Structure 1
Amino acid sequence: MPLYDHLKRTMDVVAAGAGLVATAPVLAASAAAVYATMGRPIFYRQQRPGLHGVPFKLIKFRTMRLSAPGQDDIGSEASRITPVGQFLRSTSLDELPTLINVLRGEMSLVGPRPLLMRYLPRYSAEQARRHEVRPGVTGWAQINGRNALSWDQKFALDVWYVDHRSLALDLKILVGTVGKVFAREGISQSGHATMPEFMGDEATDEEASGNDFTTARKGA
């Protein structure tokens, strides 16, 4: 899809550049709020898998206090989010710096959300197809449930987007994202900052069957 890819990249650059200029006052206010409540660093940078799984540094506003020495980062996420961080997440303002990733060509405005590097070996072959396109600031899964979805549902929507992507679909997703941001829907699952960790299909199947494998091990 060379024509689509060219037009999409042009749209990404123009829209991301215009977005950074237009939201400059909001970016400055958000940065000041993070600094005043959490100190430095203002930005959260983490390596994420991009197109074909090639890693890049994702940039967002920091929303959590730094973890204490020896503290489990994943298990303590929900308790470390500050009120300012919660507001930034609920309004998606924490995502604005990712427009820099779009300008760099590491991300697109629309595509599957970039997850964690450690998830790569946990994907099935079908789930891994989500990396056939650049990750996005928003995506098909984000306007169809966001973090209220199960991992299987989210990955199925990601792969559906890969197979059906078009400029018309991208515009539909962008318009739908605006509505979701104002509605503040699907921000997180209960008890989690966003989603529970994805452990792979084997772990998911085990949990769905009542941890039969774990129970059998305990009874052995």
Structure 2
Amino acid sequence: MIYSNYVKRLLSICLSSVGLVLASPIMLITAILIRIKLGSPVIFSQERPGYKEKIFRLYKFRSMTDARDESGELLPDKERQTRFGRILRKTSIDELPGMWNILKGDMAFIGPRPLLKEYLQVYTPEQHKRHNVRPGMANISAIKGRNKLDWEERLKLDVWYAENISFLLDLKIFFQTIKVVLLREGAPDANDSTRGRLDVAVTGKKLKGE
């Protein structure tokens, strides 16, 4: 398909280049505030599976502290996220460094959300199809309820998107995502119980990464 194979990648390069330049003042101020309020490193990075399940390193602004318990283990997310961190997530400012991933070709602006790589172990054959397209910063589940959807619904939407990708669909998701962000509808929050891990939901235990 011409759009998904060529046009979308060209648009991603152009838009991410412009976006990085325009967002640089916001990113600089955000980085300074994170360093003051949350410490270092300012950028959070983690390996995620991308197109055809190729592993890449995702970049985001840090939104939680490194608070640990007496045994040195990280505290639960909701205990490590400050009011400032919640603002970063609700406004999606924490996602801005992801434009570097888009420019590199790891991601696109629109596509299934890049999830943890250990989840590859629990996907059904049908759910693996979500990796037939590049992952994105914005995705169809975000405009259908965002993190209020359960895992089965979210993954089903991802597969549907991968099989129906088009310019008009991406345009629709793009503009509706702007609406969702501005209205803060279903914004991610460490206190949102629907953000539980997929591996725990399926197997009852946390799986180790590859």
Identify the residue that residue 109 of structure 2 maps to in structure 1: 109
The alpha-carbon deviation at position 72 of structure 1 amounts to: 5.0
State the alpha-carbon separation in 2 of the partners of residues 198 and 46 from structure 1. Answer: 17
Matches within 5 A, 1:8-87: 8-68=8-68, 70=71, 73=74, 76-87=76-87
Q: How far apart are 1:4 and its partner, in Å?
A: 3.4
How far apart in 1 are the matches of 2:138 and 2:73? 28
Quote the Cα distance in structure 2 between the aligned partners of 1:187 and 1:15. Answer: 24
Q: Distance in 1 between matches of 2:160 and 2:3?
A: 20
8 Å CA contact retained: 2:42, 2:61: yes
Work out the percentage of aligned pairs sharing the same amino acid: 37
The answer (yes or no) to whether the contact 2:3–2:166 under 8 Å persists in 1 is no
Aligned residue type for 2:85:
G
SS in 2 for 1:142: helix
Whether contact under 8 Å (1:110, 1:138) holds in the other structure is: yes
* TM-score normalised by the chain length of structure 1: 0.86
**Residue ranges of structure 1 left out of the alignment (5+ in a row):** 205-220
Runs of 4+ in 1 over 3 A off after TM superposition: 69-73, 188-194, 200-204
Deviations 1:1-35 (A, max 9, x none): 14432100011011111111111111111111101
Report the count of equivalent residues. Answer: 203
Return the letter of the residue paired with 2:48.
R
Q: What CA deviation, in whole Å up to 9, does each residue of 1:55-85 have, x standing for no partner?
A: 1110000000014264554x60111012211
- 1:202 is displaced (CA, Å) by 4.5
Separation in structure 2 between the aligned mates of residue 96 and residue 191 of structure 1, nearest angstrom: 22
* Unaligned runs of at least 5 residues, structure 2: 205-210
The aligned amino acid for 1:170 is: D
The one-letter code sitting in structure 2 at the alignment partner of 1:185 is: E
Aligned pair 1:132/2:124, yes or no?
Answer: no
Partner residue in 1 for 2:121: 121
